[in-house]
Amino acid sequence: MASTDGRHRAAVLGSPVAHSLSPVLHRAAYAELGLGDWSYDRFEIDEQTLPGFVQGLDGTWAGLSLTMPLKRAVIPLLDGISETASSVEAVNTVVFTEDGRRVGDNTDIPGMIAALRERGVEKAESAAVLGAGATASSALAALSEICTGTVTAYVRSRERGDEMRGWGERLGVDVRIADWAEAEQALRAPLVIATTPAGATDALTGSVPEAPGTLFDVLYEPWPTGLAASWAAHGGPVIGGLDLLVHQAVLQVEQMTGRAPAPLAAMRQAGEQALAAR
């Protein structure tokens, strides 16, 4: 089935962006959906070049995926953003409507919830978040939907702690701040979400408890992380960054193409194959 309104181009923007799996996932979806005239590319774009790039797009464009450092920089360039994106002041999806409007959304948050629910995590009595960056604020937004108790955030600085406490107040989440030096205690929570860069949790691999809860480690390369491998060895359920990436991409494909449901299984298989090839 071809595009009927002339909009059939999409891409991921960011810096660095060469490592992005988004083209693999979206192209797999187009192939499965029979969208033969659709294309999905990647462009190395930073905050300085973003405005000119967006202004130069013509009517063949259906949407954009945004990675760091553009998730906040894009907001002033849009005609509106969803409540979900507004809740964390971060946009990872832009859809161009038929009447030419640019509308921003955040599919990381519902993607995170969907990845958890796929593994049977509907509710958590409490949770721990490792890290305090942009992904950590999305994690708090997701936890506002499923966590009924306190979320403890383990951070490296007072400034980061203040930021996480502020996000908690904004999102209606009871956030307690703990120093990163106490991060071993995080592993005892029924749900642990690790939002830190590669290597940051390696020192915790020997501290995984017997019969651990659920670990959601948002990294997908390298995979498994040391923490994820140790967690699985102790029999704990592990959700990885590819799960998050696929679920948020499913929502992007549906919004940009207007076709639902997007082919989750085909997209995940394409992502797994691409990672294995690396």
Q: Is 71 a catalytic residue?
A: yes
* Contact predicate 88/132, CB 8 Å: no
How far lies 189's CA from each of 153, 193, 217, in Å?
11, 10, 14
Q: Active-site residue among 71, 102, 160, 268? A: 71
Q: List, in sequence order, every residue forming a beta bridge with 216; answer none if it has no partner.
A: 193, 239
Element housing 77 (H / E): none
How far lies 84's CA from each of 199, 215, 223, in Å?
30, 24, 29
> E strands of 79-174, at which residues?
80-81, 93-96, 102-105, 127-130, 151-155
d(Cα 193, Cα 98) in Å, to the nearest integer?
38
d(Cα 8, Cα 37) in Å, to the nearest integer?
7
The C-alpha angle with vertex 250 and arms to 187 and 52, in degrees rounded to 5, equals 100
Q: Which of 213, 249, 253, 258 is nearest to 231 (CA)?
A: 213
Q: Which of 65, 19, 13, 15 is nearest to 249 (CA)?
A: 65
* Contact predicate 254/26, CB 8 Å: no
What are the catalytic residues?
A: 71
